[in-house]
Structure 1
């Protein structure tokens, strides 16, 4: 009995260290295994990785554990998980897209249809027939009457030359003097009718009436009755509104879509249902002072004078996708500032990130220059949830290994 107890004691003494070492070894392996799994990252900044819990030094969010040894590039979500995450897909086709943006503009007076009426002679404004701005004036309508001694002298010279040319009608010199004196009166604004009346009556008149050279509205009056004016002084300004300029501001990023000679649609405020075609006639070559904008200019007809200068207008700028590129809903693209990617459905439950290059954008669509092909199934809604799920599970950016 004593011998049996002794043998059991010896056997326990020999085997116990092995059991303890094995248990410690297993515990160490388990601890190491757990340590390899307990790696932490930030859901918003996957570049933050550490081996213990904490907070993100960038955004302050709590770090979450992930398995850094998971090399799978995709994600697997069941049908129930997809429904919970509101994940929907669409098959890419060949159709492009067309988007319209609007430029802010306004109507302004066309200076090519502006007439400055200046005094042909020095004198005193005896009578002013147009005394208010905004008044319509017809071509040939009397504008003002002026008293001018200079013009009186020219009339006397003309009558003298006329008499000499009649008396010496065979002398070419008198004929030339007569033509020269008549030309002076014409240059001083006298019409053929006034000169003929002077030749018929043989009576000079220091009071001469001047008439409007074209139709328009009086936009400015610089004189009053009784005022003395010098030769060449501006008296009135007439503006025609039969054709108005359209000026619009353009940001430098949009100017590449506009060229001189291009036809754009113009919608005047209050007449949006009656757009007008405008041909771009001029693009400013430099940015406006203190503003990061350029300006384009064209003109539109205003035959019934329904629009006035200063009215607001919108210029429609069409952005059309090239037929060689694809387009997808803009919410399908994940843009983190440096790269863009989408999520492709490989089958009913498998999803994988795909790097893409984008082009033109609208509020709903984005042009895809590279990375996708016709027939690919793209995640339309829920792409950001897949992105977050990937970061949480793998602790890295979806394109890190792509």
Structure 2
């Protein structure tokens, strides 16, 4: 009796387990059938609800599949999203406008992003370039004083280098023995009262010239009738003695350098200019210079030359600036700041420089369109100055550009374009693979 009860109990348990398993399988089967058909949801937006034409519905996680009716996605546990004819997707930010890279952003989101716009305008652009250089002597105002005859330096009036001298100032006094014989010959011929003496006098004058006497010195001997074996050497220009090779008592030979004088009326500034700014500077451009040594003083000048050599370390060229220095305040070795005044460029397209997104290979701006849409456009830029940049290609006058928050807008547009390309690639791949059964109303 006891064994029969045990068997009966075991049988009932087995029947219950089989019944539960059957019900479980039946539920799974019904659930799979339900998921295969989109369920109509009255809360889902329709064309009439928003007065917008719905093109199709899609699953945001599987954008390649499109459906004719709203409902629940067969792929994910979420409702299908409508795509409207005006490019808006459920009121979102990633519209499909005329350009595949365009993006729609609501006014509220624009305020949150702090988006500001500016117009493309036509105007004038004057480049302002500054450079730093060092003051140097003007090599075109150099005077070299040499000995014209063999002689002895009896007296030296300038005894140290870098002494300032004036034009005509005495520098040294030389005794020239060769002049004595030439002058005596001339004076002897002049005392003779015979006929044909003119040719002899002219020959004596020529000999005095050959020993290094000037016409003024010859005239002095002729009018005074006395010997003048000494000569006083004077400064041919005013400036600074940069080289001094003469000392009292020394013997000098014909052609030996004695003094080197650098003029100070004009001065050079060798400014370092970046090689990428070379197109903005031309010989003849006016400049303004200032130096910390003379605060409040501005010197006017011009670009004399662009030296044809690039420094391999700093990648700069030397611009030779010539400045007027009438009072001699600028001296060699000073630092100076140069401001170049280049020619103004008129009637060119200008935009704020901050509106340009540099990608490394392209220059991109975000154009603000109607209905909160933004579209990236490649542009060709030109000169830049005072916070403005010239646009040579890509824009027109009057277009609005994003000048603040454009990086966020560009990121959104790039993300949308990437999604579109991935969707196209997935669709092409689906042509060669087996596509699972779609719910009724779906289209490939």
TM-score by length of 1: 0.74
- Classify 1:215/1:319 alpha carbon distance in 2 versus 1 (closer, same or farther; 3 Å): closer
Report how far residue 371 of structure 1 moved. Answer: 1.8
Q: 8 Å contact 2:126–2:345 — kept in the other structure? A: no
Report how far residue 239 of structure 1 moved. Answer: 2.1
- Classify 1:397/1:37 alpha carbon distance in 2 versus 1 (closer, same or farther; 3 Å): closer
1:280 aligned counterpart, secondary structure: strand
- Classify 1:226/1:82 alpha carbon distance in 2 versus 1 (closer, same or farther; 3 Å): same
Alignment counterpart, residue 324 of structure 2, candidates 301, 305, 314: 301
Report how far residue 336 of structure 1 moved. Answer: 0.8
Alignment counterpart, residue 342 of structure 1, candidates 365, 390, 396: 365
2:346 aligned counterpart, secondary structure: coil
Q: 8 Å contact 2:289–2:300 — kept in the other structure? A: no
Alignment counterpart, residue 176 of structure 1, candidates 189, 198, 202: 202
1:22 aligned counterpart, secondary structure: helix
Report how far residue 379 of structure 1 moved. Answer: 1.0
- 1:22 has 2:33 as partner: yes
2:62 aligned counterpart, secondary structure: helix
Alignment counterpart, residue 106 of structure 2, candidates 78, 86, 94: 78
Matched ranges for 1:3-402 at <5 A: 19=30, 22-23=33-34, 25=36, 36=62, 71-72=96-97, 73-163=101-191, 166-184=192-210, 188-190=212-214, 192=216, 194-199=217-222, 202-204=225-227, 206-260=229-283, 262-270=284-292, 275-287=298-310, 292-318=315-341, 322-347=345-370, 349-362=372-385, 364-392=387-415, 395=418
Report how far residue 37 of structure 1 moved. Answer: 5.4
**Gaps in structure 2 of 5+ consecutive residues:** 1-22, 39-57, 65-91, 425-444
- Classify 1:222/1:363 alpha carbon distance in 2 versus 1 (closer, same or farther; 3 Å): same
Q: Deviations over 1:158-212 (max 9, x none)?
A: 323333xx42354443133133134335xx24562x4455446654354433333
Q: 8 Å contact 2:281–2:342 — kept in the other structure? A: no
Q: 8 Å contact 1:154–1:184 — kept in the other structure? A: no
- Taking only aligned residues, the RMSD between alpha carbons, in angstroms, comes to 3.8
- Classify 1:19/1:348 alpha carbon distance in 2 versus 1 (closer, same or farther; 3 Å): closer
Paired residues, what number?
A: 352
1:232 aligned counterpart, secondary structure: coil
Instruction: Indicate the structure whose relative CO is greater, using CA pairs within 8 Å and at least 6 residues apart.
Output: 1
Which structure has the larger Rg? 2
Q: 8 Å contact 2:146–2:257 — kept in the other structure? A: yes
2:398 aligned counterpart, secondary structure: coil
**Gaps in structure 1 of 5+ consecutive residues:** 1-11, 39-66
